[in-house]
Structure formats: structure tokens, C-alpha cells
């Protein structure tokens, strides 16, 4: 820049002379001022360079995903797996409906058989507990009986005596529930006292209880014959389709395996050829080339192999149509009204789902008719399958799918829960600390909240598993809280649990930054408000908080950034179920387990082979995660700028 060139006639100065010449000290064409400037500049650009390198690395690893995945989808189509799935997907829905019917049936039957079942189970429990209490002496007797030669008769008599005595005592000590009348209780006690390892028959009273149950069960079954027969018809209706489909699936899988093998060999051969091309030793080169030649194999003729699937297209379609007819027939016999509300709800749910299901099948038939094995897979398809795919299935013997939606949904729901919980807590705490707390309180509150940051997240995960999960579960079973959607919960490890812990982790960030924002509200605003006669509360809520709102919003966003990127807690606590949460459960959806963007990378990256499609898919997830973090941070800055009051 401002370096002064040496006068034209001077001989070019050596480095040493340059350094020694004090009047015009120039090092490598630059004066020291500039050198220092560049040194500082270089240091500050290191961060930028590293960031760019990280992005470049992520993109390089992830970009290959689109072609790899597209190739896999191509094989999926050409081998006929896609064809099978066209028919199979709607049938999976049928399984869900069949389950609902089964559940309805058990709800209906339960009250009818309940008393007999409980009596039977209680009696068996009593028997088991008596046997358990006398197990030591019973074991002695059994042991003696098995001995060859048999021990002396009187020792056996003694052992029997001991067993008899203990059993009688245990039977007398047992508590007989009020399911039994007092006559039954004494009968039961008598029979239990007679228990001995030498008698294998059940005591007669227990036998009668079993009989009692089976008559009630029979009665119930005949009463609900309607549902039962519908259910059976419903379940059997798919059998012919499944039979055909299974054969087709087997064939398609075989094609796919051949293809996989071929492509693996091809890749191996390419490696050999590459090695040969760079090899310098001619002998070695020849050996490599020979090896490559030997691994030459024919490609898979998809067209030929698909024929045997296409041949049966009509058959599959007609089976599907038969299934539809069978289904409709089964539902004609379905009883309209059930006895319990719950069962009625389930049955009507199934009934309402049936037209949709039939539509699905008809659609599937259409798709099967139009399906072409050699239709090209468009490039954007792999991108679409990633960003809109609802299935993340890996290491499958059938087909791997890398659909990103379940992971994104998990991350988003968990983050929303965390932010919704953490925001009020931290903002209110910040307002209190900044405006109302005494100096002593400030001295306590601030370090304590900031200390939360120091807790290792794995420890929090630990707490989530051992403590929070149980707490939520216990809460969800309190009877007067049952109005809360999703209660009682099924899983201890769920999105709500993870959200609570992440909220806890986000509080220090949100609190400290919000507190700073409030602190930065100019003193002059407060003076003005006070001088107008505002009360403390009025000043806080009408002047200070509105003036600090940009800082508070950006604090919330930075907290969100922290939540989105957090890995350990979600991995441990979110339940790791890879499925799109069932949003039809309303707000109760938060009590479902889920997997997350961060969790999946942490969990799977260590186990996949480098460069495979799975590996690349995980990098794609990483790229998206990176993008989300950048976006959140950018928003935080934009908000801070957007609402920033012009500095007065």
C-alpha cells in the first residue's frame, strides 16, 4: 500500500540491510505498522476461515448424498421393491384398524369376565404365595423323593410332616380377599393347607374357578359374536393379498441383493483399476489389473427379472379388489352400537376410517396399474425424499429410507416446549432481579442461575431419566388431572421431559441476556417516568420492559439456539423413537417419545461405514442443523437491530 519503492538506481537492498536501516524500515515491502495490522487482521480472520472450512467439509460430505440416495431409489424402483410397497403401505393401515377392533373387543369383554378372572387370579396368587413361603421344606421333600435309592421311610414321613405343618401355617396366615365369600375363604384355606409337591392336580376349588371363568368368557364371546366375526373376517381378508405379495417381495429382495453385490464389486474393481493406474511397479500393476479383470461380473438385468413381478400385476390387483369386497362385506355385519362408550368410539373410529382405507386401496390399484419399472428417478426426488420423507429407516433388510421429517418434528416440538417453559421463567426472573431485588438478593440469584450453565448436560440427562420421567408419570396418574391431554402418559422418556430439561439449560442464557438488556435501558427513561409520577410497576412494565424488548427477544432466540443444538439431554431423555409424532393427539403429543436432529447424529454416526448413504444422510442432517443454528442466530441479531431504539 504505502510502501515506498527504493530509488531506481540503488542496488536492491538485502534483507539484513533493510532491517538495519532505521530511517526507512521496510520488511518484505511493508512497514512495521502494516505488518502489525496484517498480523491482527490474520488472527481475526482465522475464525472466519475455520467457519468456511467447516461449511465446505459438511457440504462435501453431504452433497454426495443426493446422488447416492437417488441411485438407491433407482434400485428400489427397478428391483420392484417400490411396486410391492405400493400395495403394502395401505395394508399396514389395515393392521392398525384391526388392532383397534381387537382393543374394542377386549374393552367390551372385560367387564363381563372381570369378576371370574379376578377370582381365579386371586386364588392362583394365594396358591403361589403359599408355595413360595414353604418352598424350602417343599424342595427338601422333592429332593428326598428323587433320591435313588429312596431314603428311609420315617425320614420321608418326617419331611412330609414338616411340609404339611408349614403349608397349614402359611395357608392360615394368608390374607383372603373379599372377592370370596366366607365359606369360600375357608374352603380355599383348607385346600391350600393340603398343598403338597406330591400332588400335581389343582385343588378342586381352583379348578372350579377356572371353569367359572371359561363359562363367562364363552358367554361374553357369544354375546359379542358380531364384533368377533367382523374382526376375524377383517383380519383374514388380507391373507390372499399378503400371500401373493410375499412371493413378489422375496423376488424383489433377491434382485436387489444381486444389484447390491454387483455395485459393490464394481466399486471394488474401480479401486483396483485406480490403484493400477498409479502403480509404478509393472509386476504389481499387472497383478492389480488381473485381479480387477477377475472381479468382472455381469450387471443385473433388471428388465428381465422384473418380468416375473409384472406378470403377476393383474393377479395382485384382482386380489386387492377381492380384499375390498371382503372388507365391505365384513363391515355390513358389524354391530352399530356397543355397550361401552369407549368401545363404541373405537368401533366408530374404525368405521369412519374404512372409506378412507378403501380409497387408499383403490389408489394403490391405480398406482400399480401405472407403475413403470424403468421410469427415471428425477434428481429432485432424492432431495424431496429427504426433506419431506416421513420415514427414517436404516439397516433394513427391505429398503433404507432417509426421511428427515420425523427428526425435524422431534427437534421442533422439543424446542418449542423448552422455549415456552424457559421464556416466562427467565424473563420474569430477569425483571425481578434487575428491578426489584435487593443487592443481597442479586448476589444470590445471579450466580445461582449462572451456575446452571456449569452442570454437565449428561448429568441433566441422568436426572431426566431417573427423576423427571418418574415425576411426570406419577403426575399423569393423578385422577383429578386426567383432563390434561395425553394423561396418563405411556412413556417416561418423552419430548416433554426433554423439553423441561432443555428449558432448564436455556434459562441461564435467556436470563443473563435479558437481564443485560434491561440493564442497558437508559437511566434517563426511568428518570422521566418517575418524574411523571409513575409507580415502580408502571415504570417497569410501561417503560423498561418495552425499551428492553429487543434485547429480551434476542435473548430468547439465543436460548432457542442453545436448545436446538443440545444433544446429550435429548439423546438420553427424548425416548429416541423415530416416528413423526402423532399430532392428532392434540397437545398430548408432547408426551410422546421422539428422536431429534442432534440425537440421531450422535447415536448413529459412530456405527455407520464411512461414505455410505447412511453416513452421507447424517451429514445432510448436520448441514440442516447448521443452517437452522445460523438462521436462529441471524434472527437474534436482526431482532436486536430491528427493535433497537435510536440511541437518544
Partner 1 sequence: MSADSPAIATPPPVVQVRDMDFCYGASQALFDINLKVEYHRVTALIGPSGCGKSTLLRCVNRMNDRVTGARVTKGEVLVKGKNIHHADVDLTQLRKQVGMVFQKSNPFPKSIYENVAYGLRIHGEKSKSVLDEAVERSLTHAALWEELKDRLHANALALSGGQQQRLCIARAIATLPDVLLMDEPCSALDPISTLKIEELMHQLAKEFTVVIVTHNMQQAVRVSDYTAFLHLGKLVEFAPTEELFTNPREKLTEAYLRGTFS
Chain contacts with partner 1 (rule: CB under 8 A): 522, 524-525, 527-535, 538, 542-543, 546-547, 645-646, 648
* Of residues 393 and 532, the one with the C-beta less far from partner 1: 532
* Of residues 150 and 522, the one with the C-beta less far from partner 1: 522
Q: How far is the CB of 528 from partner 1 (least distance, A)?
A: 5
Residues 6+ apart with CB under 8 A from 195: 127, 130, 131, 134, 167, 171, 203
Which three cell numbers mark 609?
461405514
Q: How far is the CB of 512 from partner 1 (least distance, A)?
A: 23
Give Cα 321 distance to the centre of its chain: 36
* Of residues 369 and 536, the one with the C-beta less far from partner 1: 536
Q: How far is the CB of 511 from partner 1 (least distance, A)?
A: 23
Peptide bond into 149 cis (omega under 30): yes
- 646: which DSSP letter? P
Q: How far is the CB of 436 from partner 1 (least distance, A)?
A: 14
Q: How far is the CB of 521 from partner 1 (least distance, A)?
A: 9
**Closest C-alpha to 61, from 70, 71, 53:** 53
* Of residues 432 and 541, the one with the C-beta less far from partner 1: 541
* Of residues 165 and 538, the one with the C-beta less far from partner 1: 538
Distance between CA 422 and CA 567 in Å, rounded?
18
Cα–Cα–Cα angle for 154, 155, 161, rounded to 5 degrees: 90
* Of residues 297 and 535, the one with the C-beta less far from partner 1: 535
Element (H, E) at 401: strand 401-402
Q: How far is the CB of 530 from partner 1 (least distance, A)?
A: 7
SS3 72: helix
Whether 598 contacts 565, CB under 8 Å: yes
Q: How far is the CB of 543 from partner 1 (least distance, A)?
A: 6
Q: How far is the CB of 531 from partner 1 (least distance, A)?
A: 4
Residues 6+ apart with CB under 8 A from 207: none
SS3 393: strand
* Of residues 230 and 529, the one with the C-beta less far from partner 1: 529
Whether 419 contacts 482, CB under 8 Å: no
Whether 339 contacts 109, CB under 8 Å: no
* Of residues 485 and 645, the one with the C-beta less far from partner 1: 645
Q: How far is the CB of 538 from partner 1 (least distance, A)?
A: 5
Q: How many CA atoms lie within 13 A of 357 on its CB side?
A: 25
Distance between CA 161 and CA 218 in Å, rounded?
42
Buried b / exposed e across 244-276, counting CB within 10 Å, b at 16+?
bbeebbebbbebbebbeeeeeeeeebeebeeeb
* Of residues 438 and 584, the one with the C-beta less far from partner 1: 438
* Of residues 28 and 524, the one with the C-beta less far from partner 1: 524
Place of cell 498409479: 278
Is the sign of the CA dihedral 13, 16, 22, 28 positive or negative? positive
Q: How far is the CB of 641 from partner 1 (least distance, A)?
A: 14
Amino acid at each position: 500500500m504505502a510502501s515506498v519503492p527504493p530509488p531506481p538506481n540503488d542496488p536492491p537492498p538485502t534483507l539484513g540491510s533493510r532491517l538495519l536501516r532505521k530511517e526507512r524500515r521496510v520488511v518484505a515491502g511493508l512497514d512495521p505498522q502494516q505488518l502489525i495490522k496484517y498480523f491482527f487482521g490474520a488472527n481475526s480472520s482465522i475464525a472466519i476461515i475455520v467457519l468456511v472450512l467447516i461449511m465446505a467439509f459438511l457440504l462435501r460430505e453431504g452433497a454426495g448424498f443426493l446422488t447416492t440416495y437417488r441411485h438407491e431409489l433407482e434400485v428400489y424402483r427397478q428391483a420392484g421393491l417400490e411396486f410391492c410397497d405400493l400395495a403394502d403401505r395401505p395394508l399396514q393401515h389395515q393392521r392398525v384398524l384391526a388392532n383397534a377392533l381387537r382393543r374394542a373387543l377386549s374393552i367390551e369383554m372385560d367387564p363381563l369376565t372381570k369378576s371370574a378372572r379376578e377370582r381365579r387370579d386371586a386364588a392362583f396368587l394365594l396358591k403361589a404365595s403359599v408355595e413360595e413361603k414353604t418352598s424350602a421344606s417343599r424342595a427338601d421333600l422333592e429332593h428326598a423323593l428323587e433320591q435313588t435309592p429312596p431314603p428311609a421311610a420315617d425320614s420321608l414321613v418326617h419331611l412330609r410332616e414338616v411340609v404339611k405343618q408349614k403349608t397349614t401355617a402359611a395357608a392360615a396366615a394368608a390374607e383372603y380377599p373379599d372377592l370370596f365369600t366366607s365359606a369360600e375363604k375357608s374352603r380355599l384355606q383348607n385346600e391350600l393347607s393340603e398343598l403338597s409337591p406330591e400332588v400335581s392336580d389343582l385343588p378342586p376349588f381352583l379348578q372350579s374357578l377356572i371353569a367359572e371363568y371359561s363359562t363367562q368368557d364363552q358367554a361374553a364371546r357369544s354375546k359379542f359374536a358380531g364384533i368377533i366375526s367382523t374382526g376375524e373376517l377383517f383380519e383374514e381378508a388380507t391373507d390372499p393379498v399378503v400371500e401373493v405379495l410375499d412371493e413378489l417381495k422375496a423376488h424383489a429382495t433377491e434382485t436387489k441383493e444381486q444389484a447390491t453385490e454387483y455395485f459393490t464389486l464394481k466399486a471394488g474393481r474401480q479401486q483396483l483399476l485406480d490403484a493400477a493406474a498409479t502403480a509404478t511397479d509393472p509386476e504389481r500393476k499387472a497383478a492389480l489389473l488381473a485381479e480387477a479383470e477377475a472381479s468382472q461380473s455381469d450387471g443385473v438385468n433388471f428388465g428381465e427379472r422384473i418380468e416375473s413381478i409384472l406378470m403377476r400385476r393383474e393377479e395382485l390387483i384382482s386380489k386387492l379388489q377381492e380384499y375390498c369386497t371382503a372388507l365391505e362385506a365384513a363391515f355390513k355385519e358389524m354391530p352399530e352400537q356397543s355397550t361401552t362408550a369407549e368401545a363404541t368410539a373405537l368401533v366408530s373410529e374404525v368405521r369412519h376410517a374404512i372409506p378412507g382405507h378403501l380409497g387408499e386401496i383403490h389408489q394403490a390399484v391405480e398406482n400399480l396399474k401405472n407403475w413403470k419399472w424403468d421410469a427415471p428417478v428425477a434428481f429432485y426426488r432424492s432431495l424431496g425424499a429427504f426433506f419431506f420423507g416421513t420415514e427414517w429407516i436404516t439397516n433394513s433388510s427391505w429398503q433404507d429410507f432417509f426421511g428427515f421429517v420425523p427428526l425435524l418434528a422431534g427437534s421442533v416440538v422439543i424446542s418449542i416446549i423448552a422455549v415456552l417453559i424457559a421464556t416466562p421463567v427467565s424473563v420474569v426472573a430477569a425483571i425481578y432481579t434487575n428491578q426489584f431485588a435487593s443487592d443481597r438478593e442479586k448476589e444470590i440469584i445471579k450466580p445461582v442461575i449462572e451456575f446452571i450453565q456449569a452442570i454437565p448436560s449428561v448429568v441433566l440427562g441422568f436426572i431426566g431419566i431417573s427423576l423427571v420421567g418418574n415425576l411426570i408419570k406419577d403426575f399423569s396418574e393423578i385422577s383429578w388431572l386426567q383432563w390434561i391431554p395425553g394423561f396418563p402418559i405411556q412413556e417416561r422418556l418423552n419430548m416433554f421431559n426433554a423439553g423441561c430439561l432443555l428449558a432448564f439449560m436455556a434459562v441461564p442464557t435467556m436470563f443473563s441476556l435479558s437481564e443485560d438488556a434491561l440493564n442497558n435501558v437508559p437511566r434517563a427513561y426511568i428518570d422521566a417516568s418517575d418524574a411523571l409520577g409513575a409507580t415502580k410497576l408502571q415504570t417497569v412494565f410501561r417503560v423498561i420492559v418495552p425499551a428492553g424488548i429487543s434485547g429480551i427477544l434476542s435473548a430468547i432466540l439465543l436460548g432457542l439456539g442453545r436448545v436446538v443444538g443440545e444433544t446429550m439431554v435429548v439423546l438420553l431423555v427424548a425416548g429416541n423413537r423415530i416416528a413423526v409424532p402423532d399430532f392428532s393427539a392434540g397437545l398430548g403429543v408432547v408426551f410422546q417419545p421422539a428422536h431429534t436432529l442432534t440425537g440421531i447424529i450422535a447415536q448413529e454416526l459412530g456405527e455407520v461405514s464411512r461414505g455410505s448413504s447412511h453416513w452421507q444422510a447424517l451429514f445432510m442432517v448436520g448441514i440442516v442443523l447448521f443452517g437452522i443454528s445460523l438462521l436462529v442466530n441471524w434472527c437474534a441479531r436482526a431482532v436486536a437491530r430491528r427493535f433497537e431504539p435510536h440511541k437518544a
